[in-house]
């Protein structure tokens, strides 16, 4: 009789589970599957009859099964997992991206009897993301800023010519990425791409590094050594921080651009320069020409096709794209499943000025990915310099929400506290306030 009473309840629960679009299965204490709904069958390609009684890792074959199983973690800690992004392997061998949520199961007496996992197929969403990413990605460059998209449009045209390219942008804006893109889109793509940072080498070594030397050119020259121009034969050479070149080397570089030839240090034979030159600078070369630290004739030879890369602070709409791009990259490198950032983290990242540009944002996200052990990057995962800004943003937001008089009073108290190194005694004296009044106002304005 008891079994007969349970049958309708069991039927109702099956009907409810089978009507859910998400895959759902339950396991016992030993991680063996005890129920498997219709959506789980469709997503995995495995029938319920085949799944029940199997270990869940034998059915889902997810990329986290061996090291960091979400369901096993819930069974151990009693804590839920919500929307963890993982990849499962379908019965036909196809990888399916899913978001997983897990929880423990208890009977009516509160005794632990197993766990439940739901998983949602993200294939359509991921395909849509890929389509969007194609619109905003060029080679390894991610952007949707209109100025950057204009560069994307012209880069294939620029690349097909043999003209010298000058890329101007601050440190960390991705100048070498653009140089590599020009090379890969050019007719020289099968040739070498040789990069050298002119600012990283002392003046005494630059000439020999660029043009090479012959045996006996100086005391330690025991044999001939080819320079970077020789090594880049048939391809492209990228000179970063070209503004650092000494005037003596600028003369030789000018000859390469005019005559397409150079002489190795200590040599007499002329070597043909079969290379395409791509130069980069973080300075305005025209201003250096006026200061007589950069040759005007070399500047005109370099400034044939110019690409200007705006700083990240001038293209803030690219920040969310870049954040997601870097999270994906570090997820693969660190074998993590971080889905994204919290809204307050993204708000903070959108307001930061990034003196180090895209490279600094990449370093911030790498730090966050190292510190984050869950699926979402929070404020506590940010590097220390961002925590200072977090307080400043909170202060500014609070001041904006206050009536004008209170906002002015709060700013005055804050400025005097800062001036007096947060000494309440000195601040109260300077403001001619009783100390208790100052404490009360500090509490009111959240100045602690």
Tell me, what's the pLDDT at 50?
A: 92
Based on DSSP, count helices (H) and strands (E) in the chain, helices before strands: 20, 16
In the block, tokens 């880049």 appear at 232
The architecture of the domain spanning 402-444 is Orthogonal Bundle (1.10)
Tell me, what's the pLDDT at 418?
A: 85
Q: Contact at 8 Å (CB) between 23 and 120?
A: yes
What's the predicted TM-score (pTM) here? 0.67
CB atoms under 10 Å from CB of 379, counted, come to 14
Q: How far apart are CA 3 and CA 176, in angstroms?
A: 72
How many Å is the Cα radius of gyration of the chain? 31
How long is the chain?
Answer: 448
The DSSP result for 156-222, as a single string, is: HHHHHS---EEEE--TTS-HHHHHHHHHHTSTTTTS-EEEEEGGGS-HHHHHHHHH-B-TTSSTT--
Q: Contact at 8 Å (CB) between 170 and 310?
A: no
The H or E element that residue 295 is part of is none
Stretches in the chain below the pLDDT threshold 70:
1-13, 131-134, 216-219, 221, 388-402, 448
Residue range 283-322, pLDDT digits in tens = 999 999 999 999 999 999 999 999 999 999 999 999 999 9
In the block, tokens 């050298």 appear at 196
Q: Are strands 376-377 and 340-341 parallel, antiparallel or unpaired?
A: parallel
The domain limits of the chain are 2-121, 133-310, 315-389, 402-444
Task: Find all residues with CB under 8 Å of 365, minimum gap 6, and list them.
Answer: 323, 326, 327, 330, 377
Q: Are strands 305-308 and 165-168 parallel, antiparallel or unpaired?
A: parallel
- Residue 134's Cβ-count burial label (10 Å; 0-12, 13-18, 19+) is exposed
Q: What is the largest CA-CA distance in the chain?
A: 106
Q: Edge to edge, what strands does the sheet with 305-308 contain?
A: 193-197, 236-240, 276-281, 165-168, 305-308
E strand map for 152-275: 165-168, 193-197, 236-240, 261-262, 271-272
The CATH class for the domain spanning 315-389 reads mainly alpha
Token pair belonging to 429: 């004296």
Per CATH, the number for 133-310 is 3.40.50.300
The CATH class for the domain spanning 2-121 reads alpha beta
Token pair belonging to 444: 């009111």
Tell me, what's the pLDDT at 217?
A: 62
Residue range 60-90, pLDDT digits in tens = 888 777 777 888 888 888 888 888 888 888 8
CA 360 distance to own-chain centroid: 9
Q: Which residue in 122, 119, 126, 123 sits closest to 40, CA to CA?
A: 119
Angstrom CA distances, 333 to 65, 133, 328, 337, stand at 18, 20, 9, 11
Q: How far apart are CA 217 and CA 113, in angstroms?
A: 82
Q: Are strands 261-262 and 271-272 parallel, antiparallel or unpaired?
A: antiparallel
Q: How far apart are CA 407 and CA 405, in angstroms?
A: 5
Token pair belonging to 223: 């044999």
What residues pair up with 303 in beta bridges, in sequence order?
Answer: none
Tell me, what's the pLDDT at 381?
A: 93
Q: Contact at 8 Å (CB) between 236 and 191?
A: yes
Q: How far apart are CA 167 and CA 268, in angstroms?
A: 33
Convert 47-78 to b/e letters by CB count within 10 Å (16 or more is b): ebeebeebebeebbbbbbbeebbbbbbbbeee
Same topology, domains 2-121 and 402-444? Answer is no
Q: Contact at 8 Å (CB) between 222 and 215?
A: yes
């Amino acid at each position: 009789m008891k079994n007969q009473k349970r049958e309708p309840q069991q039927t109702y629960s099956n009907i409810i589970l089978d009507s859910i679009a998400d895959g759902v299965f339950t396991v016992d204490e030993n991680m063996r599957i005890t129920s498997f709904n219709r959506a789980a069958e469709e997503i995995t390609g495995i029938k319920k009859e085949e799944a029940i009684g199997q270990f869940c890792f034998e059915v889902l074959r997810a990329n986290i099964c061996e090291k960091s199983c979400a369901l096993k973690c819930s069974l151990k800690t009693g804590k839920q997992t919500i929307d963890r992004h993982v990849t499962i392997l379908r019965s036909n061998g196809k990888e399916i991206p899913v978001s997983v949520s897990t929880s423990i199961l208890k009977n009516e007496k509160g005794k632990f009897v197993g766990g439940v996992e739901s998983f949602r197929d993200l294939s359509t969403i991921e395909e849509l993301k890929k389509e969007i990413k194609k619109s905003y990605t060029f080679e390894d460059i991610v952007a949707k800023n209109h100025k950057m998209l204009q560069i994307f449009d012209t880069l294939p045209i620029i690349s097909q010519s043999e003209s010298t390219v000058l890329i101007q942008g601050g440190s960390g804006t991705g100048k070498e990425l653009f140089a590599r893109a020009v090379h890969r889109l050019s007719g020289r793509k099968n040739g070498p791409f040789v990069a050298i940072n002119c600012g990283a080498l002392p003046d005494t070594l630059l000439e020999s590094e660029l043009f090479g030397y012959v045996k006996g050119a100086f005391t330690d020259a025991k044999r001939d050594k080819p320079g970077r121009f020789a090594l880049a034969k048939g391809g492209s050479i990228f000179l970063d921080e070209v503004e650092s070149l000494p005037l003596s080397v600028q003369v030789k570089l000018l000859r390469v651009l005019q005559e397409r030839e150079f002489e190795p240090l200590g040599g007499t034979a002329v070597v043909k320069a079969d290379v395409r030159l791509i130069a980069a600078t973080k300075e305005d070369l025209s201003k250096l020409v006026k200061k007589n630290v950069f040759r005007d004739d070399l500047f005109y030879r370099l400034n044939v096709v110019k690409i200007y890369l705006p700083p990240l602070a001038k293209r803030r709409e690219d920040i969310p794209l870049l954040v997601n791009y870097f999270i994906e990259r570090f997820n693969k490198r660190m074998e993590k499943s971080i889905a994204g950032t919290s809204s307050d983290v993204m708000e903070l990242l959108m307001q930061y000025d990034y003196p180090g540009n895209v490279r600094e944002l990449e370093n911030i996200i790498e730090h966050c990915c190292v510190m984050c052990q869950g699926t979402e990057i929070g404020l506590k995962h940010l590097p220390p310099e961002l925590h200072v800004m977090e307080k400043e943003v909170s202060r500014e937001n609070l001041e904006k929400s206050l009536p004008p008089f209170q906002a002015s009073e709060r700013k005055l108290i804050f400025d005097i506290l800062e001036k007096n190194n947060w000494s309440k005694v000195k601040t109260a004296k300077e403001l001619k306030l009783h100390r208790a009044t100052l404490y009360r106002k500090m509490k009111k304005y959240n100045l602690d």
